[in-house]
């Protein structure tokens, strides 16, 4: 069967990956509202994802207390969060005397926040699992239309040096320089890169394909013009992953699983091996080469510290105390996990990603396009996490939860329509 013919079929539902749950009107409203706000936050305030996803989880929190099958993935994340919390006992970054009268002092403690974030972000994901097919279709369409509009605006701002963003900041009483405005607008590329392939699959319907062209052209051109290197790399990697899963199926998903395991478990060894050879040196006239060389220096230093405490690590947030050798974090999720939480933390992260790709593998047997989009989104998150941001940054974790929700909702929207009473057609046929 040709690819076009296969795509034309209504796919079977992802019941193996995302167990069916009673539809919830509350879940439908919460998910649709967050999807409607996603393009706005991506453009004007990416840090706001932590607040909006947490609020959505707080509203949906009652859904966690309804009967549902326990999730091994959430159990692994809970174990990781509790290990991070315990590591504060020996962390070189934990204050020995805490001033509980000052909110700022408490708010800076990453460990307790991780537990609360897991509960709230998990509630948001649980809400997505309770969407009906119709609610999933509506919510995903809202998101994808917003993504197309965001990509078009992204390209316009890239071409004309962010005039609209500068005007918005000036109107808010916070004027900014053109180069800083361009840098801020470039952060939209992270959201576009993560949600690119789920949106592309949703836009696969013939009447929506013009919007797919807008999404593809505007995202790629805008990321190139704004020098958004990490999102551009994520788009390249996720495209390879999408095509591999789309055409090869399960072997590609299992390869992704192996790659994720190798990344989380073998990152320090890889850096040690690279350190034996000739690494890239900074070039004064090429900022991109300089950036890459700086990262290599950070990773080399971090691995040297990992070797000193390989099992337990230096404790949560320890990356912050090694400046200027490590500016705030290692710019690599696996290296940061090894440095702060040791082999235990890296192993738990590896197990979680093995579970996650296992869920994608189950979905591949029922809906290969949705599985390919989910695998592509997961690979984009891994790629960006390997080059940018601290692993504990609230908005980045929230964006990961949002990406998972988008993939779940896409799978829900692609479930077969129930057969009408008296119809001779089996479910799923046009």
Q: Is the residue at 168 inside a domain?
A: yes
Band of the pLDDT at 13, cuts 50, 70, 90? very low
| Residue 9 DSSP code | S
pLDDT score at 159: 94
- Please, which pLDDT band fits residue 426 given cuts at 50, 70 and 90? very low
Cβ–Cβ under 8 Å, residues 128 and 408: yes
SS3 of 268, please? helix
Query: Does 304 score more than 50 pLDDT?
Result: yes
> Would 421 be classed as within a structural domain?
no
State the CB neighbour count (10 A cutoff) for residue 340. Answer: 33
Q: pLDDT value at position 272? A: 85
Lowest pLDDT segment from 62-66, 122-126, 395-399, 405-409:
62-66
Phi, psi dihedral angles at 342 (to 5 degrees):
70, -165
What's the pLDDT score for residue 2?
37
The one-character DSSP state at 316 is T
131, part of any domain:
yes
- pLDDT value, residue 283: 47
The pLDDT of residue 252 is 97
pLDDT score at 274: 76
Taking alpha carbons only, the member of 157, 158, 109, 202 closest to residue 412 is 202
Lowest mean pLDDT among 12-16, 134-138, 201-205: 12-16
Q: For residue 104, is pLDDT > 90?
A: no
- pLDDT (tens digit, 9 = 90+) per residue, 227-244? 888 999 999 999 999 999
Residue 423 lies in a domain: no
Q: Count of domains in the chain?
A: 1
pLDDT in the model for residue 204 = 83
Looking at residue 8, what is its pLDDT?
Answer: 38
418 falls within a domain: no
Q: How far apart are CA 222 and CA 157, in angstroms?
A: 8
d(CA 49, CA 195): 14
Residue 218 within a domain = yes
How would DSSP label each residue in 20-44? Answer: -----HHHHHHHHHHHHHHHHHHHH
Do the domain assignments include residue 161?
Answer: yes
Rounded CA-CA distance 213/207 in Å is 12
Q: Once rounded to an integer, what is the mean pLDDT over residues 358-381?
A: 95
Query: What's the pLDDT at 43?
Result: 95
DSSP, residue by residue, 250-264: HHHHHHHHHHHHHHH
In this prediction, residue 102 carries a pLDDT of 55
Residue 66 has pLDDT above 70, yes or no: no
Does the pLDDT of residue 6 top 70, yes or no? no
Residue 428's pLDDT is what? Answer: 32
- 217-232 mean pLDDT: 93
> What's the DSSP call for residue 162?
S
> Would the pLDDT of 1 be above 90?
no
pLDDT at 355 > cutoff 50: yes
Q: Which domain holds residue 339?
A: 12-413
Does 22 fall in a domain? yes
Residues 16-53 pLDDT 10s: 444 445 567 888 999 999 999 999 999 999 999 999 99
- Higher pLDDT among residues 8 and 388, named by residue: 388
Q: Is the peptide bond before 210 cis (omega within 30 degrees of 0)?
A: no
pLDDT at 324: 84
Q: What's the pTM?
A: 0.88
What is the reported pLDDT for 101?
52
Helix residue spans in 129-249 (DSSP H): 133-160, 163-171, 178-186, 188-202, 209-225, 229-248
Task: Give pLDDT, residue 100.
Answer: 52
- End-to-end CA distance of the chain: give it in Å, rounded: 17
pLDDT confidence of residue 117: 94
For residue 274, report the phi and psi dihedrals to the nearest 5 degrees. Answer: -65, -35
Answer whether residue 423 shows pLDDT above 50. no
| Cα 179 to Cα 162: distance, rounded to the nearest angstrom | 9
CA atoms within 13 A on the CB side of 98: 12
Give tens-digit pLDDT for 316-352.
999 988 878 888 889 999 999 999 999 999 999 999 9
φ, ψ dihedrals at 119, nearest 5°: -65, -45
Q: Tell me the per-residue pLDDT of 274-300, one tens digit each, with 9 for 90 and over.
A: 776 555 454 455 555 567 778 888 899
pLDDT digits (tens, 9 = 90+) for 137-149: 999 999 999 999 9
DSSP assignment, residue 286?
B
- Whether 183 has a pLDDT exceeding 60, the answer reads yes
Among the residues of 276-367, which ranges form H helices? 287-308, 333-364
Using 50, 70 and 90 to split pLDDT, how confident is the model at 110? confident
């Amino acid at each position: 069967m040709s690819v076009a013919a296969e795509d034309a079929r209504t796919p079977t539902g992802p019941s193996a990956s995302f167990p069916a749950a009673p539809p919830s009107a509350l879940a439908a409203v919460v998910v649709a509202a967050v999807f409607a706000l996603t393009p706005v936050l991506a453009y004007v305030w990416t840090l706001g994802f932590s607040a909006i996803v947490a609020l959505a989880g707080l509203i949906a929190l009652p859904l966690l207390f309804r009967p549902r099958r326990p999730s091994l993935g959430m159990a692994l994340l809970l174990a990781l969060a509790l290990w991070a919390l315990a590591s504060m006992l020996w962390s070189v970054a934990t204050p020995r005397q805490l001033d509980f009268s000052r909110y700022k002092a408490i708010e800076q403690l990453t460990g307790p926040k991780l537990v609360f974030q897991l509960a709230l972000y998990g509630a948001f994901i649980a809400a997505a699992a309770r969407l009906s097919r119709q609610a999933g279709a509506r919510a995903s369409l809202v998101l994808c239309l917003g993504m197309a509009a965001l990509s078009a605006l992204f390209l316009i701002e890239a071409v004309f040096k962010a005039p609209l963003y500068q005007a918005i900041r000036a109107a808010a009483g916070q004027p900014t320089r053109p180069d800083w405005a361009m840098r801020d607008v470039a952060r939209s590329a992270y959201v576009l890169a993560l949600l690119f392939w789920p949106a592309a699959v949703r836009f696969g319907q013939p009447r929506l394909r013009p919007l797919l062209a807008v999404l593809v052209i505007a995202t790629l051109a805008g990321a190139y013009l704004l020098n958004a290197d990490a999102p551009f790399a994520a788009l390249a990697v996720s495209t390879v992953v999408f095509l591999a899963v789309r055409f090869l199926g399960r072997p590609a998903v299992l390869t992704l699983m192996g790659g994720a395991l190798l990344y989380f478990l073998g990152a320090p060894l890889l850096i040690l091996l690279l350190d034996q050879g000739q690494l890239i040196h900074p070039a004064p006239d090429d900022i991109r080469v300089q950036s890459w060389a700086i990262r290599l220096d950070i990773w080399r230093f971090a691995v040297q510290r990992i070797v000193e405490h390989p099992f337990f690590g230096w404790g949560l947030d320890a990356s912050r105390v090694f400046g200027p050798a490590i500016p705030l974090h290692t710019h690599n999720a696996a290296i940061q996990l090894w440095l702060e939480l040791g082999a235990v933390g890296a192993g738990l992260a590896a197990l979680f990603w093995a579970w996650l790709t296992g869920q994608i593998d189950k979905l591949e047997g029922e809906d290969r396009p949705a599985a390919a989009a989910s695998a592509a989104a997961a690979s984009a998150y891994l790629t960006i996490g390997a080059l940018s941001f601290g692993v504990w940054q609230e908005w980045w974790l929230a964006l990961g939860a949002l990406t998972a929700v988008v993939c779940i909702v896409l799978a829900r929207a692609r479930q077969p329509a129930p057969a009408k009473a008296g119809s001779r057609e089996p479910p799923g046929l046009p």
